[in-house]
Amino acid sequence: MFPVKDNLHKVLSSLPEGVRLVAISKYHPAEFITAAYEEGQRVFGESHEQELRQKHEELPKDIEWHFIGHLQTNKVKYIVPYITMIEAVDSIKLLREIQKQAAKADRTVKVLLELHIAEEATKYGLTLDDCRQLLAEGEWREMKNVQICGLMMMASNTDDEQQIASEFQQAASFFDEVKAEFFADDDNFCERSWGMSDDYQIAVRNHSTMVRIGTMIFGPRVY
Ligand SMILES: *Cc1c(COP(=O)(O)O)cnc(C)c1O
């Protein structure tokens, strides 16, 4: 097995205080998760509903699962009964469905709003203007079973560290803007989820509170 335990400790010891690790276990077998679990890691991230469902059934119930992928609205009902946080919410439609299913399940689900700042033309994530608009419209304030805990983003996939740092900085100052405007009285709005295996060192220098690291801990994924 890939040296999961050693890698986990290397990553953990490189994180400054106040930055939490979400161990991204997608495409890796349950035994890899167990190895990290035995070292005390409790927060894991997955990006496919069926894979997550199987792992959730099989593994200890005190694991906090984060859903980090693009979530289709028709899958929301399957994960809401047990998910801790849905990290990549990028539409009001998805937020509404999470509220609806969370109310049915009598739970509160934590979410992050996903920003699209990177240069890549992906379909996912809110532009800063879309995110401002979603918050300004205020429908989220009535969603009693959804707790918006912060922002999530991915930097461009590039070797240009300046570029990556500048994207994290944009996300960090946007966080400050919306915190002041919409969440000044809400201590739950505190998370900045950025940083992956290749760029988390840059992310933690740019106000990340939560890093999502897979490859550095579990090795390359076999798709
Ligand atoms: C897969 C994934 C990660 C982890 O990426 P690594 O490069 O393996 O650390 C982080 N965030 C998201 C959204 C992912 O899909």
DSSP 3-state of 33: helix
Give the pocket of ligand 1 (CB within 6 Å).
24, 26, 47, 68-69, 154, 196-198, 212-215
CA 214 to ligand 1 centroid distance, Å: 6
Is residue 218 within 8 Å of 26, Cβ to Cβ? Answer: no
Sign of the CA dihedral running 197, 201, 202, 205 = positive
pLDDT at position 223 is 83
Q: Does residue 164 contact residue 199 with C-beta atoms inside 8 Å? A: yes
Contact 189, 176 (CB under 8 A): no
Token readout for 12 is 């953990």
Distance in Å, CA 26 to ligand 1 centroid = 9
- Tell how far the Cα of 135 is from the centroid of ligand 1, in angstroms: 26
Determine the 3-state secondary structure of 182 from DSSP.
helix
Residue 1: what pLDDT?
63
Q: How far apart are CA 218 and CA 25, in angstroms?
A: 7
Which of 89, 113, 212, 215 is the best mutation target for the ligand 1 pocket, counting ligand atoms within 8 Å of the beta carbon and taking the most? Answer: 212
CA-to-CA distance for 172 and 145, rounded, in angstroms? Answer: 26
Closest atom of ligand 1 to 215 CA is 8
* Gap from CA of 139 to ligand 1 centroid (Å): 30
Domains with residue ranges and CATH for the chain? 4-218 (3.20.20.10)
Q: Can you give the pLDDT at residue 143?
A: 98
Mean pLDDT by 10 residues, the chain (223 residues): 91 97 97 97 98 98 97 98 98 98 98 92 89 98 98 96 97 98 98 98 98 97 87
- The span from the CA of 83 to the CA of 81, in Å, is 6
